């Protein structure tokens, strides 16, 4: 459909608790998902949530099925559309990892997340998705689903000495690629 403008931190629409989707496989929902896919692909993001393009619904996408230049060491995640997600952490273990966000351009921060979790939700046609994941995949899901509750990753940072400009923290990183 179309590449949409990505809202940046400071926009109140990023702070809302988004509304659940109550009807699947509609033209409007398909159009929203296509907009998210087009916008994420254009921005070379690892994921994107509907609130980031100003849509107040519990829809996230992540994964591209190929290596992301922002995270060349990260495992490939299949392209996923996840609607009305529910997250259930597995165990108590937390892990810290670097995150960026298309709504917080130019910055990276070290964010603690649950190492492993089970997530459930629905795809665009209303089919159940039920996965148990860990590591980078679990981190991406937590980051994207936080957007549905008005939470941006800087709010999760515990050590602000580990927060800064990507070009300073990671001078070797692909300058053409943007944040996720």
Positions touching Ni ion (CB under 5 A) are 101
Please say which residue, 101 or 107, places its beta carbon nearer to Ni ion.
Answer: 101
Q: What minimum distance in Å lies between the beta carbon of 57 and Ni ion? A: 16
Is 144 among the residues known to form the active site? yes
The rounded distance, in Å, linking the Cα atoms of 72 and 91 is: 28
Please say which residue, 122 or 153, places its beta carbon nearer to Ni ion.
Answer: 153
The rounded distance, in Å, linking the Cα atoms of 79 and 11 is: 27
- 96 burial level (CB within 10 Å; 0-12, 13-18, 19+): middle
Please say which residue, 101 or 148, places its beta carbon nearer to Ni ion.
Answer: 101
The rounded distance, in Å, linking the Cα atoms of 150 and 152 is: 7
Q: Of 23, 73, 86, 144, which is the active-site residue?
A: 144
Number of residue whose CB is nearest Ni ion: 101
42 is written with which tokens?
Answer: 């254009």
Q: What minimum distance in Å lies between the beta carbon of 118 and Ni ion? A: 21
Number of helices and strands in the chain (H, E)? 3, 8
Q: What minimum distance in Å lies between the beta carbon of 99 and Ni ion? A: 8
Which residues have a catalytic role annotated?
144
């Amino acid at each position: 459909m179309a590449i949409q403008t990505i809202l940046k931190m400071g926009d109140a629409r990023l702070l809302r608790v988004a509304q659940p989707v109550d009807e699947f496989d509609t033209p409007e929902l398909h159009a929203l998902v296509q907009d998210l896919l087009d916008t994420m692909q254009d921005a070379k993001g690892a994921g994107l949530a509907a609130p980031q393009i100003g849509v107040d619904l519990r829809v996230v996408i992540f994964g591209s099925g190929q290596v992301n230049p922002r995270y060349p060491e990260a495992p490939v995640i299949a392209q996923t559309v996840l609607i009305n997600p529910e997250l259930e952490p597995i165990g108590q273990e937390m892990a810290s990892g670097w995150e960026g966000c298309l709504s917080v351009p130019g910055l990276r921060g070290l964010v603690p997340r649950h190492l492993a979790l089970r997530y459930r939700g629905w795809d665009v046609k209303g089919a159940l998705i039920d996965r148990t994941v860990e590591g980078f995949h679990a981190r991406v899901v937590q980051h994207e689903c936080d957007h549905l509750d008005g939470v941006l990753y800087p709010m999760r940072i515990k050590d602000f000495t580990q927060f800064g400009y990507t070009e300073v923290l990671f001078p070797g990183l692909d300058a053409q690629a943007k944040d996720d």
